[in-house]
Amino acid sequence: MAPGDEVTLDNCDQEPIHIPGLVQPHGALLAFDASGCLRYVSAQAATLLPTALPVLGEPLAPQHFDALPEVHAALADGQREPIAGQPAHLEVQLGGRPYDLIVHAIGTTVVAEFEPRPQDAQAHADFAIAAHRAMGKLKRQTDLDALLRVATSAVRELTGFDRVMAYRFRHDDSGEVVAEVKAEDLEPFEGRRYPASDIPAQARRLYVINTLRLIADVSATPQPVLEAARTSSPLDMSHCVLRSVSPVHIEYLRNMGVGASMSISIVIDGALWGMLACHHRSALQVPYTVRMACDVVAQVLAANVQSLLARDRAREAEAAVELRASVINAAVHADDLVTALAPLAPALASAFDAPALLLAQEGRLLVHGAISRDDAADLIQGLRELPEPHDDVLSTQAIGRHLLANASAATAGWCGLLGLRFDSMLGGWLVLLRREQIETIHWGGRPEKEYTSGPRGPRLTPRGSFEVWKEEVRGTSAPWNDAQLALARQLLDELARATTARMADLSRART
Ligand code: BLA
């Protein structure tokens, strides 16, 4: 897709959002080539900046910004040391007004962006204290939910947004609002799920390298970036602070009644783990320094999330070792595995995050959880009748679609199955079950009339997003993760070993 082609709901993951040729109109952009000539300028730069500017195609000369030697120096410095993605920041006065000047290099091009400092920008001292307090609080949190809540509160306190959410990506790039602070009269979004397509892949890639974006006024008309020569390539705005965002996303925000939006990436191990996403009902120009403090909050947050996740993984691994030992203990020389393991059913189910568990061998069947005995027996029968499996660990997110089309358990909403065939002679199965994802999530949204719908239709509304997510996950459970699959394999080995040992005992007793 080329810049200027029409963006639709079907091709928006192809939209080259890094070269929109447009900036948000609250600031001005100037970009210079390696020889110091002005190659790109945003249309309103001359109106916004009360100073002499070079003409397109002409070099930056000392008389430009003559009152501002430091601006000239920053631009010259940028040209000597082009470090992409590492912007330099200056506070400058133009015509008696304060501006934030952000300079960065992309390739050999040096980009200077000017943002007028909002008149009511929080006093420096207050804001530094608030930022400092937020970092301290973030560092003290020892559980993930509390950590995310503290981060959303900190960003809300620093910026004044009406709503700040922590949005966490799931295994399939869909997302969930896992924490939220908001103005009281706004409808809560916490717990909501959104499909991967609400933040297309190219946007996610960009958000890993450029971690903060502000859409200061959703209803402002973007300004074109003029080019010195038609033959030159469009300016790569991946690292620009004024980059104008995709029209599809603007329509989405407008439909939701959002007047300003900001989001900050939570990057862990080079991948986008989540975002802090902020909404305001009217326009909101968050000063650059405040945005940078929010970016630091997100970095501290990411580091803490990473260490809490590592701690949780270590705890889970420890619990798995203990569980395995209990299983070995209970199973060793047990005459009847089903009875011997019954007391461990709750711990086993919980280790696999499975609300139901079945254990069967010969004519015995243990049922744990809210599945009917008939559905359980039918499922075990179905598994026993399957053709000889390649693997004694079976896993699926969709029993009805991929394993047993006619299982009554599947009809009753059981979709995820992790099955361990530990005794092929006597039909020994340990089965963990999960429900359909949708059954566990309820739409708490207000009626759709709360939202408007633009030219691209109702898809770009919270309800439209939820419907897409529901379609994508219909008939499936959440997936089994690697740790759970590894534990399954270990337990299978132990149960199979116990079964073999019992057979050996029995045949010894017979001889
Ligand atoms: C970008 N989509 C985004 C962004 C967010 C979301 C946070 C980053 C830009 C920003 O900070 O506003 C999505 N925002 C959400 C979600 C919530 C939220 C899910 O607050 C939940 C509470 N968007 C769509 C569809 C398409 C789409 C259907 O919903 C395309 C078919 C596109 N979203 C889209 C694009 C971008 C985007 C192209 C990139 C915008 C840019 O940076 O230019």
Residue 162 lies in a domain: yes
Mutate which of 162, 214, 249, 255 to test ligand 1's pocket (most atoms within 8 Å of Cβ)?
249
- What pLDDT shows up at residue 129? 85
Note whether 387 and 288 are same-domain residues: no
- What pLDDT shows up at residue 203? 97
| Band (77; pLDDT cuts 50, 70, 90) | low
Name the domain count of the chain: 2
Determine the atom of ligand 1 nearest the C-alpha atom of 278.
20
Residue 216 belongs to domain with CATH number: 3.30.450.40
Protein residue whose Cα sits closest to atom 6 of ligand 1: 199
Residue 104 lies in a domain: no
Note whether 267 and 342 are same-domain residues: no
Residue 470 lies in a domain: no
Q: Which residues line ligand 1 (CB under 6 A)?
A: 9, 12, 15, 17, 165, 175, 177, 189, 194, 197-200, 203, 213, 215, 245-246, 248-249, 252, 261-263, 275, 277, 459-460, 465
Asked whether the predicted pLDDT for residue 121 surpasses 70, the reply is no
DSSP-derived secondary structure for 48-115: H--S--PPTTSBP-TTTTTT-HHHHHHHHHHHHS--BT--EEEEEEETTEEEEEEEEEETTEEEEEEE
- What pLDDT shows up at residue 487? 96
The strand pairing partners of 88, in sequence order, are 103
Note whether 292 and 349 are same-domain residues: no
Note whether 352 and 427 are same-domain residues: yes
Residue 96 lies in a domain: no
* Cβ(267)–Cβ(273) below 8 Å: yes
Protein residue whose Cα sits closest to atom 42 of ligand 1: 245
Asked whether the predicted pLDDT for residue 80 surpasses 60, the reply is no
Highest mean pLDDT among 91-95, 165-169, 192-196: 165-169
Note whether 266 and 124 are same-domain residues: yes
Residue 290 lies in a domain: yes
* Cβ(158)–Cβ(293) below 8 Å: yes
Mutate which of 6, 198, 272, 275 to test ligand 1's pocket (most atoms within 8 Å of Cβ)?
198
Phi, psi dihedrals of residue 20, rounded to the nearest 5°: -75, -20
Highest mean pLDDT among 63-67, 436-440, 444-448: 436-440
Note whether 296 and 339 are same-domain residues: no
Q: How many CB atoms lie within 10 A of CB 505?
A: 12
Note whether 135 and 249 are same-domain residues: yes
115 CA → ligand 1 middle, Å:
24
Note whether 483 and 362 are same-domain residues: yes
Note whether 495 and 431 are same-domain residues: yes
Asked whether the predicted pLDDT for residue 449 surpasses 60, the reply is no
* Cβ(308)–Cβ(320) below 8 Å: no
Global ipTM: 0.96
At 295-314, the pLDDT tens digits run 999 999 999 999 999 999 99
Q: Which long-range contacts (CB under 8 A, 24 or more apart) does 99-105 make?
A: 99/49, 100/287, 100/288, 100/289, 101/71, 101/74, 102/241, 102/288, 103/74, 103/75, 103/77, 103/78, 104/78, 104/239, 104/240, 105/78, 105/79, 105/81
Residue 487 lies in a domain: yes
Q: Cα separation of 256 and 452, whole Å? A: 7
Protein residue whose Cα sits closest to atom 39 of ligand 1: 203
Asked whether the predicted pLDDT for residue 474 surpasses 60, the reply is yes
The answer to which of 4-8, 172-176, 222-226 has the lowest mean pLDDT is 4-8
Mutate which of 199, 239, 250 to test ligand 1's pocket (most atoms within 8 Å of Cβ)?
199
294 burial class (0-12, 13-18, 19+ CB within 10 angstroms)? buried
Residue 396 belongs to domain with CATH number: 3.30.450.270
Determine the atom of ligand 1 nearest the C-alpha atom of 468.
28
245 CA → ligand 1 middle, Å:
9
| Band (83; pLDDT cuts 50, 70, 90) | low
Give the rounded percent of residues in the chain with a pLDDT score beyond 90: 65
Note whether 169 and 288 are same-domain residues: yes
Q: Cα separation of 34 and 37, whole Å? A: 7
Q: Mean pLDDT, to the nearest integer, of 62-71?
A: 70
Q: Domain range for residue 256? A: 12-19+118-222+243-309
Sign of torsion over alpha carbons 477, 481, 483, 488: positive
For all residues of the chain together, what is the average pLDDT? 90
Note whether 256 and 150 are same-domain residues: yes
Note whether 417 and 273 are same-domain residues: no
Per the model's pLDDT, the better-predicted residue between 259 and 442 turns out to be 259
Residue 230 lies in a domain: no
What distances in angstroms separate CA 137 from CA 36, 142, 154, 365, 383, one per listed residue? 46, 11, 9, 51, 52
Protein residue whose Cα sits closest to atom 43 of ligand 1: 245
State whether residue 133 is helix, strand or coil: helix
Residue 431 lies in a domain: yes
Q: Cα separation of 245 and 373, whole Å? A: 55
